[in-house]
Structure 1
Amino acid sequence: MTPRHGSGEVQRSPDASMTLINEFYRRPLDPGYADAAARRAAGSEPRRTRRSTVGLVALAIGLGLGATAATLALRQPTTSVQEARELLESQIAQRSEEADATQADITAMTEQIATLQEDLLGDEGRPVSDQIDEVAVEAAVMPVTGRGLRLVLTDAPSDDPDVVDPMSRVQDVDLQIVVNGLWAAGAEAIAVNGQRLSAMTAIRSAGDAVLVDLVPLASPYTVEVVGDATHMQTELARAAAGQHLATLRTTFGIGVQLSSQSKLELPGTGLVTMYSARVPVTSADPVPEPGPAEGALDEGDVAGSAGPTGRDGT
């Protein structure tokens, strides 16, 4: 670089900005490697002996074995961790078997109670038996079979499986709105992914999972409804639940498939323990006798999670 005549400015060389690239093209090989190549070409480079070759091979084998052993040690869990995992797995399997056995006992006892009721009432008590069956169906205790609707809600597809938008997933509030809309449209019985809904059912969320009576469910969510399919479709389209389904499909890309079914089989929940709400008493007040169950949710009112839902207009 040379200064301009009559000024203090510095004039750049035309290729000053290309110095690094020019050096790379002029001398592509590092000076140290160039010197070693020159010595090797001149024959002044010391020859490699057999001992050095054997040592180099042994060193490479030792490094390879060490790296392999370290990799296996990192991948293989320690003995204590493995034992704890096996213990947990055995406990889970044992508890699952106990739960299945208990559920089988409950089913057998429920059938036995129904048989004893029929024997006790006989033909004279047929009206009472029919009334009991009707109430049992409304309470979701007994399984039902009949015509109805099947509604399938599916999470919206995602371009990146690692990044999931919560608004593109079916949320607990969506199922709450749909279920309450179906009850209002005249549904006689409803089940979500095989879980029968009753007046005590709660639909909530836990992380990414939707819980129906503490049972985690995942997409797709199949809502099966027993009742007059034509009447329910008409009433659902007129109600806010139908508008909500349209918003899920058009705005959030959630799959909504509604179809009529000639035969649906919905399971029962079995016997349900009812609890009554009472006013707390003081020591001066008499203790009231336990009464019939009060304060339970009406059929069609599904308990939901509190707080904002994130859906516009819901």
Structure 2
Amino acid sequence: MKVRGKHAIYSLILLVTGFMIAFSYQYTKEERKQPTNDQWKREDQLRSSILSIQRENRNLQRELEAAQKKVSEMEEEIADKEKRSFNFVEEIKKLRKVVGQVAVEGQGISVSLEDSSYIPDTENPNDYIVHEEHIRMVIHELYVTGAEAVAINGQRISNTTHIDCVGPVVSVDGVKHPAPFVITAIGDPEVFSNSLNLTGNITDQLVNDGVQVRIQKETSIEIPPFIAKEG
């Protein structure tokens, strides 16, 4: 009986000890799960920092969008100015061509006017030679059909050019040119040719006046700048 009593006491002691150990372990485990005040403070600080960073990011994002919009507007403004500047430069180039300030090169046409090779004895010789009105007719027709530049025997003409008949020669802004008179123009050769050869148009009138006419389409013509007459 004494031995059994001791066993019971030992068993009870071991049971109580095991319970205390298990309780202590569970309590310690639960304690570890519970954050301390310092941990709460650190977590709160982290949350505050995160919220602050998020607000700052939103502000930066708005500033970035505003900056991108401004850059886009500036780019559009610059592109518009460049376009206007380009158009302005192109317009100046065209005007310089029109007034003859620069040399011009391109495809076009050449029209050669020459005195008649046959003059009847009973006719007036002046009726079979090229006069200034014949040259003016051709030049006018070329300008009407889109000529960018026109020259007579290589001399550039302008809207102020004076063409006068002086005996057997023609004076262009004071420069005398003998026949044949080769009028060159830069532009669409097909348009020029169709217009000049139209029935009843310029070529027919010239031929009826006893003028020899030769028309040649040109792939490349160079016309020098206009030189104003001195004095």
TM category, shorter: 0.5 to 0.7
Q: How many residues align?
A: 148
Distance in 1 (alpha carbons) for counterparts of 2:203 and 2:145: 15
Q: Which amino acid aligns with 1:245?
A: T
**3-state SS of 1:198 partner:** coil
8 Å CA contact retained: 1:150, 1:224:
yes
- What is residue 257 of structure 1 aligned with on the other side? 214
2:114 paired with 1:154: yes
Scaled by the length of structure 1, the TM-score of the pair is 0.42
Distance in 1 (alpha carbons) for counterparts of 2:144 and 2:154: 21
Aligned-residue RMSD, C-alpha: 3.1
8 Å CA contact retained: 1:150, 1:223:
yes
- What is residue 139 of structure 2 aligned with on the other side? 179
Distance 1:272 1:173, change over 3 A: closer
Give the structure with the larger helix fraction: 2
8 Å CA contact retained: 2:145, 2:195:
yes
Distance in 2 (alpha carbons) for counterparts of 1:244 and 1:131: 32
- What is residue 144 of structure 1 aligned with on the other side? 104
Q: Which has the higher contact order (CA 8 A, sep 6+)?
A: 2
Q: Which amino acid aligns with 2:169?
A: A
User: Could you list the per-position Cα deviations for residues 19-43 of structure 1 after superposition, in whole angstroms to 9, with x for gaps in the alignment?
Assistant: xxxxxxxxxxxxxxxxxxxxxxxxx
**3-state SS of 2:138 partner:** helix
Distance in 2 (alpha carbons) for counterparts of 1:272 and 1:123: 37
2:197 paired with 1:234: no
User: Could you list the per-position Cα deviations for residues 184-220 of structure 1 after superposition, in whole angstroms to 9, with x for gaps in the alignment?
Assistant: 1221111010111111111112233211111111111
User: Shift of the alpha carbon at 1:256?
Assistant: 0.7
8 Å CA contact retained: 1:185, 1:236:
no
Counterparts of residues 1-314 of structure 1 (less than 5 Å): 125-158=85-118, 165-238=125-198, 243-250=201-208, 252=210, 254-270=211-227
8 Å CA contact retained: 2:115, 2:180:
yes
User: Could you list the per-position Cα deviations for residues 107-142 of structure 1 after superposition, in whole angstroms to 9, with x for gaps in the alignment?
Assistant: xxxxxxxxxxxxxxx999544333222110011111
Distance in 2 (alpha carbons) for counterparts of 1:259 and 1:159: 25
8 Å CA contact retained: 2:119, 2:125:
no
User: Shift of the alpha carbon at 1:248?
Assistant: 2.8
Distance in 1 (alpha carbons) for counterparts of 2:90 and 2:202: 38
8 Å CA contact retained: 1:147, 1:228:
yes
User: Shift of the alpha carbon at 1:249?
Assistant: 2.4
Distance 1:200 1:250, change over 3 A: closer
Distance in 2 (alpha carbons) for counterparts of 1:124 and 1:227: 26
Distance in 1 (alpha carbons) for counterparts of 2:114 and 2:130: 7
Distance in 2 (alpha carbons) for counterparts of 1:155 and 1:251: 10
Scaled by the length of structure 2, the TM-score of the pair is 0.56
Q: Which amino acid aligns with 2:219?
A: S
User: Shift of the alpha carbon at 1:230?
Assistant: 0.8
User: Shift of the alpha carbon at 1:238?
Assistant: 3.6
Distance in 1 (alpha carbons) for counterparts of 2:229 and 2:89: 19
Q: Which amino acid aligns with 1:265?
A: E
**Bigger Rg over Cα:** 2
Q: Which amino acid aligns with 1:261?
A: E
User: Shift of the alpha carbon at 1:251?
Assistant: 5.1
User: Shift of the alpha carbon at 1:156?
Assistant: 1.2
Distance in 1 (alpha carbons) for counterparts of 2:181 and 2:227: 22
